[in-house]
Structure formats: C-alpha cells, structure tokens
C-alpha cells in the first residue's frame, strides 16, 4: 500500500495552511534527497545559515500561495 | 492550548497587509529555525548583508501577493 | 514517433500532483542538460548540497502551483 | 499617530504602478533593516553589483504583478 | 521584415507547452546576450553546473505557469 | 513635463509582449541604479556571466506573466 502524505490542501485556518506550506517545502527536499541521514546532516548546517533560512522561507511563501488559493483565502 | 499566530489574512489597509507579509516572512524562518537565540545571532549578520536584505524583501513580496489577493486588493 | 512524457496535468490527488511537480522540475533540468551521464554525475554532488536542495524544492513549489491550479486545487 | 506609507495600490497609469512596485521593494528592505545609516552604506555597495541589481529588479517584478492585478492591468 | 519567433502561446498539449516554456527561457537569455558565440561558450560551462541547471529549470517553471494559464491548463 | 516610459501593458502579439517584459526587467535595474555609466560598465561584466544571464531571464519571465495576463494571453 502506498503511503498517503498529502491527502488534501484544505485546512481549517490560515495558520494550519501555513504549517502545511512548511510541510510541503520539506517534502520537496525529501523527494529530491530521500535519505533521512543525509538530510539530518545537512539540516545541522543550514539551520545556522541565514541565507539558506531565507531561501527556505521563500519556498514556504510559494507553497502558502497555493494553499491559500486552495482554501479561497479562508474567506468563506 | 495551541498558540494562535495567524488568525486571518484580512487587514484593514494595504499598509497593514504589507506588515502582515513581513510577519509571514519571519514566521517562515522561525518555523525552520525555532531557536530564538540562533535567529538573533544570525540576524545581527544578515542585517548588514545587502544580498540577504534583498532576498528578505523578495520573500515579503511573495507573501504580499497572497495577502493582497486575500483582501481583494483592498478594492472594496 | 515522438515520445510522450507529459500527457496531462490532471492528477487524482494532491499527492500525485506533488509528484508530477517533482517530475516537471527534473524535466526542466533534462531539457537543458540532456546527457544522462552528466546529470547523474551532477546529482551525486548537489544531493549533498543543502542550498541546491532548497533551490530544487523551490522549483517543485512553482510547478506545484501550476499543477494545483490545473486541478482546481482538487476541490471538486 | 501612525505614519501612512501605503494608502492604496491604485495608480493612474502602469508607469506609476511600476514606481509603486519599486517603492514596495525598498519598503521590504526598510522593514527588515530600519537603520537609514546602515541601508545607505549597503546601497553604496550593491548599486555597483550587477547580481544584486538583477535581484532588486526581480523583487520589483514580483511587486509589479501585485500592483498590476490590483489595478486590473489598467484595462478599464 | 521583422522575424517572428513567438506567434502564439497556444499549444496542442502540455508537453508542447513545456517545450515552449523552455524556448522562452532561452529567449530571455538571448535577448539579454544576443551574441551566439558568447552564449555557446557560456553554455559549455553552465551545462555542467548543477546550480545553474536548477536555476534554468526554475525559469522554465515560471514560463510554464504562463503557458499553462494561456492554454487554460489544456482542460478543454 | 514627466517622461512617459510605460504608457500601457497592451501589446499586439505575444512577441511584442515578451519584448515589453524584457524592457521592464531593464527598467527595474535602471530605477535602482540610474547612472547610465555605471550600468554600462556592469553590463560588460554580467553579459559574460551565465548565472546572471539566467537570473535576468528569470526577471523577464516574471514580467512576462504580468504582460501576458494583461493581454488576456492574446486569446481574443
């Protein structure tokens, strides 16, 4: 059976949507580098690198656009 | 009880929307590097780095697209 | 006969859409550097480079916007 | 009284919209680094750095998307 | 007579749309650096640079958003 | 009298739209660095730098999204 890691883009609140966007940013890295061990090692480095933190924040921002649109900006 | 840090994308004015976009850009960094201490240390460095300031401005720009759309560009 | 590698943007679920976005990010690299051999060599390097992994994640994020819109955010 | 620096996204012409986008790009930097003195010092450097000028142009481009949409592309 | 190199954004399939997006990414480089000779020389270098290949893939991704929207995501 | 350098986003064809996007990318640089002399000097350098050419192509791509949307993708 295939694992389900992204069942829906719907979230109850903008905050949950932002957390989903953060998850999607990490999934993009994981699909490119599937090794948990290598990702952990890399994370220890980039967590202390402001340029890479800003870049991560940018990927979250792009995904948040998608999630926000999918939820009609939680206007309803 | 879970802390609420993003209750809504609605703001009264474009200016408040821009401030919200700035907050979202910081939240993206915070969710990736939760340590206040490390972020403070990094901030002291990148605040003086024009390339990283421009990159931060870009993340704000992406979030401002989202916030502006959520508010129907404050046209109403 | 021309090979078909992108018949549709429709997917059954957000998860399949995310996988398609990942495929599109790789296709963009492949169309720019068609040599399998060179790409394999480069991959061995960038798989261990957090900056490039984040950049890859960003390309996936951009394609996921397209795929999500094409699927009307799997709302139907 | 709070200063108003972004009362509206409406502009009379595309050109004024482009100027507003430029202003927004600078505001993003200013909200991240509020010191006029430090920003002036940094500007003297990045004004001569083509990579950072292109990056600045990109932030303007992203904001121009927002301003153009807010003005319905000045079609009316 | 002026040469026509972009008559339409319409394509029959997503795949042709992706190829058009790749062409547009190259056109952007060509309009900035019109010399075929210099571009050929540069290409020999960046074809072997994973960071630049990912950046190229990102430009394709942005153009693919445009082409996909122009074709109504090939839904019709 | 103020000079008019962006009277409209409407163009007759996608190709003219792409040329307008290229112009907008340059305008973004010009508004940030107004000195013709410095820009000419920088251009001599970045014209030979593939990374910066790709970055320029990306700014064009973002503006082309805006111009294409303004022209309803030249569908009419």
pLDDT averages per 10-residue partition of chain D, 76 residues:
90 98 97 95 90 97 98 93
Q: What is the pLDDT, as a whole number, of residue F45?
A: 84
Tokens matching residue B4: 């609420």
Among chain F residues, the shortest Cα distance to E5 is held by F15
- Per CB-CB distance under 8 Å, the chain B contacts of D46 are 50-51, 54
Q: Is F22 on the interface with E (CB under 8 A)?
A: yes
Mean pLDDT of all residues in chain F? Answer: 95
Contact C28, C59 (CB under 8 A): yes
**B37 band by pLDDT with thresholds 50, 70 and 90:** very high
The DSSP symbol for D73 reads G
Q: What is the pLDDT, as a whole number, of residue B1?
A: 56
Q: Is residue A29 part of a domain?
A: yes
> Closest Cα partner for B55 from C43, D48, D54, C61?
D54
Number of neighbours of residue A56 by Cβ within 10 angstroms:
27
Residue E1 has pLDDT above 60, yes or no: no
Among chain E residues, the shortest Cα distance to F60 is held by E28
Of E33, E62, E63, the CB nearest to F47: E33
Number of neighbours of residue E5 by Cβ within 10 angstroms:
12
**Residue F58 structural domain:** 14-74
Mean pLDDT of all residues in chain B? Answer: 95
Per-residue burial over F2-40, b if 16 or more Cβ lie within 10 Å, else e, is: eeeebeebbbeebbbbbbbbbbbbbbbbebbbeeeeebe
Please give the Cα distance from A32 to A27 (Å, whole number).
9
Q: What is the pLDDT, as a whole number, of residue B63?
A: 98
- Biggest alpha carbon distance in chain B? 42
Least confident of B43-52, C63-72, F10-19: B43-52
Q: Is residue C3 part of a domain?
A: no
Average pLDDT over residues A5-30: 97
Least confident of A37-46, A52-61, B21-30, D57-66: A37-46
Average pLDDT over residues F13-21: 98
Locate tokens 């990010």: which residue? C25
**F1 band by pLDDT with thresholds 50, 70 and 90:** low
Per-residue burial over E44-74, b if 16 or more Cβ lie within 10 Å, else e, is: eebbebbbbbbbbbbbbbbbbbbbbbbbebb
Q: Is residue B66 part of a domain?
A: yes
Q: What is the pLDDT, as a whole number, of residue C2?
A: 75
Q: Is E76 on the interface with C (CB under 8 A)?
A: no
**Residue range C27-50, pLDDT digits in tens:** 999 999 999 999 999 998 888 999
Q: How far is F75 from chain D (nearest CA, A)?
A: 15
Q: Is residue C21 part of a domain?
A: yes
Q: Is residue C9 part of a domain?
A: no
Q: Are F51 and E56 a contacting pair at CB < 8 A? A: no
Residue A47 has pLDDT above 70, yes or no: yes
Q: What is the pLDDT, as a whole number, of residue D58?
A: 98
Q: What is the pLDDT, as a whole number, of residue A1?
A: 56
Residue F2 has pLDDT above 80, yes or no: no
pTM for the full predicted model = 0.97
Q: What is the pLDDT, as a whole number, of residue D48?
A: 92
User: ipTM score of the complex?
Assistant: 0.97
> Closest Cα partner for D8 from B6, D16, B57?
D16
**Residue range E22-63, pLDDT digits in tens:** 999 999 999 999 999 999 999 988 889 999 999 999 999 999
pLDDT over 90, % of chain C: 89
Q: What is the pLDDT, as a whole number, of residue C1?
A: 56
Q: Is D76 on the interface with B (CB under 8 A)?
A: no
Q: Is residue F26 part of a domain?
A: yes
Per 3-state DSSP, chain F is made up of helix, strand and coil in percentages (nearest 5) of 70, 0, 30
Among chain B residues, the shortest Cα distance to A75 is held by B70
Q: What is the pLDDT, as a whole number, of residue D76?
A: 74
Among chain E residues, the shortest Cα distance to F66 is held by E66
Q: Is D53 on the interface with B (CB under 8 A)?
A: no
Q: Is residue F19 part of a domain?
A: yes
Task: State the total domains in chain E.
Answer: 1
- Per CB-CB distance under 8 Å, the chain F contacts of D18 are 6, 24, 27, 31
Please give the Cα distance from E51 to C43 (Å, whole number).
10
**Residue range F28-51, pLDDT digits in tens:** 999 999 999 999 999 988 889 999
The DSSP symbol for A2 reads P
Mean pLDDT of all residues in chain A? Answer: 95
Please give the Cα distance from D53 to D56 (Å, whole number).
5
Q: Is F73 on the interface with D (CB under 8 A)?
A: no
Locate tokens 């905050």: which residue? A15
Q: Is residue C1 part of a domain?
A: no
Q: What is the pLDDT, as a whole number, of residue D46?
A: 87
């Amino acid at each position: 059976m295939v694992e389900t890691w992204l069942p829906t883009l719907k979230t109850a609140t903008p905050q949950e949507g932002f957390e989903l966007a953060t998850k999607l940013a990490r999934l993009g890295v994981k699909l490119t580098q599937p090794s948990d061990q290598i990702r952990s090692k890399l994370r220890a480095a980039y967590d202390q690198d402001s340029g890479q933190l800003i870049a991560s924040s940018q990927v979250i921002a792009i995904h948040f656009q998608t999630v926000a649109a999918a939820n009609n900006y939680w206007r309803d």
